[in-house]
Copies of this chain bind each other. A is one copy, B any other.
Amino acid sequence: MKDHGEKGASVLDDVVKALSSHCDDSISPLKRKMVAEPLPSRDAVIEATELVRSALFPGYYGDYQFSPGAMPHAIGTMLDRASRIFEEQMLRAFCFFCDNRRDACPSCPGLARERTRDFMKALPRVQRLLMTDVHAAYLGDPAATCPAETVFCYPGIFAITFQRIAHELYLLKVPLLPRIITEHAHSATGIDIHPGAAIGESFFIDHGTGVVIGETTSIGRNVRLYQGVTLGAKSFPLDKDGNPIKGVKRHPDVEDDVIVYAGATILGTVRVGKGSQIGSNVWLTRDVEPGSFIGQAAAKKS
């Protein structure tokens, strides 16, 4: 009986030793700075993002209802809480990449405070954009019975809300947090929009599963996408080690009033001209004139 316990303990100790010693700093953040500094917390970042969403759509989301007369208090409380969380999480993210110990860092705390304030100031603009998106979703889907339904449960609204919030943080050069936010939406909706993508008003994605929109994409006003659409990179310039070079323009520019149907793939730094429609499952790697309709070859009967 005792043997059994000892045998188990010895297996445990062997595995612990192996896992502790083999991990390098790609797999354990603790190997970078030999002190315990908190990493950004995904749960906290998502909580703060949801608070901001609740403040942008007052009454739709969030833990509880409030009275119409208490709306400013509710918004103020949610934003105050969100900004406190964001400031702390930004600090963690900045300090993850800086060489100082957090409690002796001369720059990260001030940076986090300032960027949080800039982020808050951007929210009215984000709200105005989202109102156009809700309108576009209601108009764009014959199955939508009212705008409220799209706010309640349309994955496209979920994804664009999170992306627009993340995009503001991306513009403020906050590391890690933007991607955490959009990947949360990706997980919940299957819609993967990089925080870097620049997206105009009245944007609507229907169904959405499998949509991918790359970092350097730009999208004009009144654009509608369906499930499975990729706005991706065709190829990446490689460095001398054969690895992709980071940060260069490599995704499409989609102009106003474009519709891209389900499963279409648009790759590279191509321009899709104003008012064009790209058909289902089309594979496109060249510029398209304004007003074009690009369709797939029809299926053949076997």
Residues of chain A having any CB pair with chain B under 8 Å: 1-2, 4-20, 22-24, 26-30, 33-36, 38-40, 42, 55-60, 64-77, 79-81, 83-84, 96-97, 101, 103, 109, 117, 120-121, 123-124, 127-128, 130-131, 134-135, 138-149, 151-155, 175-176, 179-180, 183-184, 186-190, 192, 194, 196, 207, 209-212, 214-215, 226-228, 230, 232-233, 236, 243-248, 250, 262-263, 265, 267, 279-285, 292-302
What is the distance, in angstroms, from A61's C-beta to the closest C-beta of chain B?
9
Q: Which residues of B contact A154 (CB under 8 A)?
A: 183
Q: Is the CB of A301 within 8 A of B292?
A: yes
* Complexed CA–CA distance, A81 and B73 (Å): 11
14 A–B contact pairs at CB < 8 A?
Answer: A2-B34, A5-B67, A8-B83, A12-B70, A12-B76, A15-B121, A15-B124, A16-B73, A22-B131, A26-B151, A36-B67, A66-B80, A73-B73, A281-B281
Q: How far is the CB of A23 from chain B (nearest CB, A)?
A: 6
Number of copies: 6
The interface residues of chain B lying within 8 Å CB-to-CB of A19 are 55-56, 58, 75, 79, 123-124, 127
Minimal Cβ-Cβ distance residue in B for A188: B187
Pick the contact of A84: B2, B13, B65 (CB < 8 A): B65
- Rounded to whole Å, the gap between the CB of A253 and the closest CB of chain B is 17
CA distance A294 to B283 in the complex (A): 14
